[in-house]
Amino acid sequence: MEIEVKLPRWFKSVLVAIIFLAIGAGGGYFLKTKTAPASQQKSAEEEKNTRVAFLMEVYDKIKENYWEKVDDQKLVGVFVLGIEKLTGQPQSLKTNDRENLKNALEDIDKQIDSDEKRKEFVANLADLVLANMEPFGRSRLYVQKDEIALKNNVQNKTEADHYQALGVDKEASAEEIEKAFKEKETELKEDTSEEGQKKYQEATQAHKVLVDSGAKELYDTAGIEPTIDYRLVRPEILHLHLKKFSPTTLEELERVTKKFDQGSVLDTLIFDLRDNIGGAIDGLPYFLGPFIGNDAYAYQFYHQGEKEDYKTKIGWMPSLVRYKKVIILINEGSQSSAEVMAAALKKYNVGVLVGRTTKGWGTVEKVFKMENQIDPNEEYSIFLVHRVTLREDGQLIEGHGVEPTVNIDDKNWEKELLDRFNYPELVEAVKEIWQES
């Protein structure tokens, strides 16, 4: 899942979460709203108009902004199905057009016996309609608190207390942190209980963050976790595992690769995009630049019959130039922004894609604020699939994924990779890394 937001700088990108509402066979889980004080309540006629206007605004925003052109008959049909689901009654419109839908909604509004139930019906219908736009479940109705929660998620903020996990204070030196981790490791490594394993993982993550001065600074100042794991698997081979895209990822990449930009032995990179859940797509024109150069056609979006080209906005990263041999690892857990990146790297022959076909989650969602609101104590918006992404051959990523150059499930994959590089140590390193996951 990606989100498109236009902000002054890529690293201020904001990702908003999907609210999953469980809709059961006997009805729906209604989105709860608060009742305004009597002094703030509108007249019944004003409330009715606001509720119907809210639903018709959802209708219009879908028509204008949905990734695919959708005609009135199809869209009205989705609304009708939603009404039938919530009311349990068959619906029959003279014709499937906007005006008849509006009239039907006004009639239903009159039949519901309380303002609270009317608001619940409107919110639930809007969410049902959005959820049933293809790809199913990607578009939803949002409330403000969920936007805020996922802004923190895309920034990769954490509430974990890494100092507590290691039993040290914030002024602890690197030596004290290292010593505390060794003690925790000895204490917890052999504890096979669920609680013991959880504490061990927490301690390991805390150590990973706090021993890296750059990651520690981000954590101390903004509560941000790193998105890149890294290690030398051979003196000449660096493994970088990018777990998600966040506003700090490019800075991380530069900081980490600078650490290893010395000497002449290191010349091979295993760039790992496995199980990368994606993230803010706004950063990709910057993140791809270090790999394929400035002002290069990086990827395409598709919206209502039109293709949109996106170009890189920065150039090569000096600390990446040393890598003459590059492997990009992908799997069925690589999704959204990671798939777009994999397709671009494949297109420019930056390296050899090894692994399995990616997830095929190729949508770009955008948040649209609602002008009409149905509750003075809640702010609704819609989270809508606005565009879909295209892979290197011009086909949709959605439902297809990005295919590896060397499929690791092929019994001859090791020979195929060896034929490409004539580098047995690299083949062994890839095999080890894959088996570790």
What confidence category does residue 431 fall into, taking pLDDT thresholds of 50, 70 and 90? very high
Contact between 427 and 417 (Cβ < 8 Å): yes
pLDDT given for residue 57 in this prediction:
97
How far, in Å, are 184, 197, 206, 380 from residue 193 at the CA level? 15, 6, 20, 43
- Identify the pLDDT of residue 396: 97
Whether pLDDT at 60 is above 60: yes
> Three-class SS of residue 274?
coil
**Is the pLDDT score of 170 beyond 90?**
no
Assess whether pLDDT exceeds 50 at residue 33. no
- pLDDT for res 342: 98
Rg of the Cα atoms in the chain: 25
pLDDT tens-digit profile of 115-124?
Answer: 999 999 999 9
pLDDT given for residue 18 in this prediction: 27
**Domains present along the chain, CATH in parentheses:** 21-136 (no CATH), 157-224 (1.10.287.110), 227-367+386-437 (3.90.226.10)
Question: The tokens 């690892």 sit on which residue?
Answer: 329
DSSP 8-state secondary structure symbol assigned to residue 294: T
Residue type, 138: R
Does the global pTM surpass 0.85? no
Q: Please give the share of the chain, as a percent, with pLDDT higher than 90.
A: 64
pLDDT, tens only, 127-158: 999 999 999 999 999 987 655 554 555 556 67
Q: Where are the alpha helices (DSSP H) in 66-193?
A: 72-87, 98-111, 115-131, 144-154, 162-166, 174-188
d(CA 189, CA 184): 8
SS3 state of residue 142: strand
pLDDT at residue 231 in the model: 94
DSSP-assigned states of every residue in 216-272 = HHHHHHH-BPPSEEEEEEETTEEEEEE--B-TTHHHHHHHHHHHT--SSS--EEEEE
User: What pLDDT shows up at residue 119?
Assistant: 94
User: CA-CA distance, 33 to 380, in Å (whole number)?
Assistant: 11
pLDDT at residue number 148: 57
Q: Contacts from 79-83 at CB under 8 Å and sequence distance 24+? A: 79/55, 79/125, 79/129, 80/104, 81/132, 82/125, 82/128, 82/129, 82/132, 83/108, 83/125
Asked if residue 396 lies in contact with residue 362, where contact means CB atoms within 8 angstroms, the answer is yes
Task: Identify the DSSP state of 190.
Answer: T
Question: Considering the chain, what is the average pLDDT of its residues?
Answer: 85
pLDDT, one tens digit per residue, over 305-350 is 999 999 999 999 999 999 999 999 999 999 999 999 999 999 999 9
Q: Which residues pair with 383 in a beta bridge?
A: 140, 367
Q: Does residue 17 have a pLDDT over 90?
A: no
Give the pLDDT band (50/70/90) at residue 272.
Answer: very high
Residue 84 in tokens = 């039938």
What tokens appear for 202 in the block? 């927490």
| Residue 11 pLDDT exceeds 50 | no
Label residue 38 by pLDDT band (50, 70, 90).
very low
Burial label, 235 (beta-carbon count in 10 A; 0-12, 13-18, 19+):
exposed
pLDDT at residue 161 in the model: 83
Q: How many CB atoms lie within 10 A of CB 102?
A: 15
Could you tell me the two tokens for 332? 């069925």
In whole angstroms, what is the distance from residue 145 CA to residue 282 CA?
23
- Tens of pLDDT, residue by residue over 376-394, are 889 999 999 999 999 999 9
Could you tell me the sign of the dihedral formed by the alpha carbons of 204, 210, 211, 217, in that order? positive
Alpha-carbon distance 168 to 405, whole Å? 47
- Tell me the C-alpha distance between 329 and 96, whole Å: 48
CB 218, CB 246: distance < 8 Å: no
Q: Confidence class of residue 45 from pLDDT cuts 50, 70 and 90?
A: low
